[in-house]
Structure 1
Amino acid sequence: MEQVKVLTSTTSPFAARVLIALEEKGVKYECQEEDLPFNKSDLLLEMNPVYKKVPVLIHNGKPICESLIILEYIYDTWGSEKFLPYDRALARFWADFADKKLLESSFRIVISKDEAQEQAKRDMLENLQFLEGALKDMSKGGSLPFFGGKDFGFLDIALTPYVSWFHTFETTGNFKIPFETEYPLLDAWIKRCMERESVKKILPSSDRVLQTGLEIRKRFVVD
């Protein structure tokens, strides 16, 4: 019998994408919540000695680390989809973009103030515009519901956990992300994703995420 365990943290968007993928594939798994960042378990340190962070997928005793690598592993192990090489490369590109460009600019909002924070907001809005364009191209102008086309796929799972953090970015940055007017395709995509049972089950509430965001901000900013 397969043994699947995930080392996770409630508000981690990276851990959330792994759990959503397992839910979508119908894989039975066990979770171990890690008390981060200062009280990491012996199992986490053993399974991920290089980065010492979540998520870690442990499949039959063997660890797989880094969330996008784990997502690919889940699709290769339990998925039935057949990806064309270009489609796979495109999904990888935009998932990597989100983890680098979008995440970096978004978290600068949380940990900065004054002009540095204003620049971070401008950068994040620009990065959302790039994603709006990618969704337009990949969904045939919005005629298909997801980045994965008709199906809620790899890239959708990679991006959805960021949704629970938008309230935190808006609150710490004291602004409103204009989804309805500037990013209508993303706005509709978010609403569809939030209706999925896997997403409802896994994503933490915006208020819970905000609590984490404010704790992070206290470490970096004196308001």
Structure 2
Amino acid sequence: MADSDELMVFGVWTSHYSRRVELALKLKGIQYQYFEEDLSNKSPLLLKYNPIHKKIPVLVHNGKPVAESLVILEYIDETWKNNPLLPQDPYARAMSRFWAKFIDETIVALALKLRAGTEEEQKQTIEELRKHLKVLENQLEGKEFFGGDRIGYLDVMATVIAFWLVVAQEAMGGLEVMTEERFPILYKWIGRITKIDVVNEWRPPKEKLIEYLKARFASPKSV
């Protein structure tokens, strides 16, 4: 990043949406200024830079705001060419985008349903979630990372599974959605990414995240 560049990120430490933006920047070695938001009392700057959705994350580059995490990730990759996250091949890029949407629109959406509904509905959600996690796991077959032999765009997206879903299971009293026995390939991938220094420096503190999630699960109205 040029010395004249000004880069800001507005986020929430518990949000995998904003944390994935930070990870992308860290993987590229880009310096930025971080602003932690209180979503119950949003800052004037957040409302200024994202007046449409009024949500995090927002990246502001030289005064120009970019919202929505998937859009931000692509902006980062296109603006700073070092350590590319997305594949260069057009088909591989399209497939990375497809699976990224699959993670957000299917896996994350189902995981969010775990805290609501009856016990029977929760069981059905777990079974459906396992089915889709297995589909995603198949994309890792024979590879070190989703991106191939190095961490990439889809790996950044999938950290929600490694560092949020796994922790959420513990926070919900040992709820068993995914285990190493059921998903050996995913767990080997988790082992690999946790050996990457940048990822370990970035990952949310486990105990602190468990405490936050326990409070959230106990109070449906909590932020």
* Fold-level similarity (TM above 0.5): yes
- Which residue in the other structure is 2:189 paired with? 189
Return closer, same or farther for 1:173/1:51 CA change in 2, 3 Å cut-off: farther
Match status 1:65 vs 2:78: no
Asked if the contact 1:110–1:213 (Cα under 8 Å) also holds between the matched residues in 2, the reply is no
Q: What is the RMSD computed on CA atoms of the aligned residues? A: 1.8
In proportion to residue count, which structure has more helix?
1
Displacement of 1:113:
3.9
Residues 12-61 of structure 1 show CA distances to partners (whole Å, capped at 9, x for unaligned) of: 0011111111001011101000012x111111111111111111111001
Alignment deviations for residues 90-111 of structure 1 (CA, whole Å, 9 cap, x no partner): 1001111110110111111123
1:208 and 1:52 mapped to 2: Cα distance?
26
Does the 8 Å CA contact 1:161/1:203 hold for their aligned counterparts?
Answer: no
Contact 1:45 1:52 in 2 (8 A): yes
- Deviating above 4 A after TM superposition, structure 1's stretches of 4 or more consecutive aligned residues are none
1:79 alignment counterpart:
81
Question: Hey, what's the Cα distance between the residues in 2 that align with 1:48 and 1:97?
Answer: 25
1:206 deviates by: 2.5
Q: Relative to structure 1, is the Cα distance of residues 184 and 28 closer, same or farther in structure 2, using a 3 angstrom cutoff?
A: same
Letter in 1 for 2:122: Q
Percent identity between the aligned chains?
37
Give deviations 1:72-117, integer Å, cap 9, x for gaps: 1111011244611111111001111110110111111123441121
1:31 paired residue number: 34
Matched residue, 1:49? 51
Contact 1:121 1:173 in 2 (8 A): no
Give 1:196 deviation, angstroms: 1.5
The structure with higher relative contact order (CA 8 Å, sep 6+) is 1
Give the 3-state SS of the residue equivalent to 2:219 in structure 1.
helix
In the alignment, what sits opposite 1:216?
A: 216
Distance change (3 Å), C-alpha of 1:215 and 1:156: same
Give the counterpart letter for 1:27 in structure 2: I
Who is 1:164 aligned against? 163
Give the secondary structure class of the aligned counterpart of 1:162.
helix
- Of 131, 136, 155, which aligns to 1:131? 136
Aligned amino acid, residue 8 of structure 1: G
Q: CA offset at residue 149 of structure 1?
A: 0.4
Partner Cα distance (1:89, 1:128) in 2: 20
Residue 121 (structure 1) aligned with residue 123 (structure 2): no
Q: In 2, are the aligned partners of 1:111 and 1:216 still within 8 Å (CA)?
A: no
> How many residues end up aligned between the 2 structures?
214
Go from structure 1 to structure 2 and tell me whether the alpha carbon gap of 1:32 and 1:98 turns closer, same or farther (over 3 Å shift). Answer: same
Letter in 1 for 2:42: K
* 181-190 or 111-120, which deviates more: 111-120
The residue that corresponds to 1:139 in the other structure is: none
CA contact (8 A) 1:109 1:169 kept: no
Pair 17,55 (structure 1): closer, same or farther in 2 beyond 3 Å: same
Q: CA deviation at 1:170?
A: 4.4
Shift of 1:6: 0.3
**Equivalent position of 2:5 in the other structure:** 2
Long gaps (5+) in structure 1: 137-141
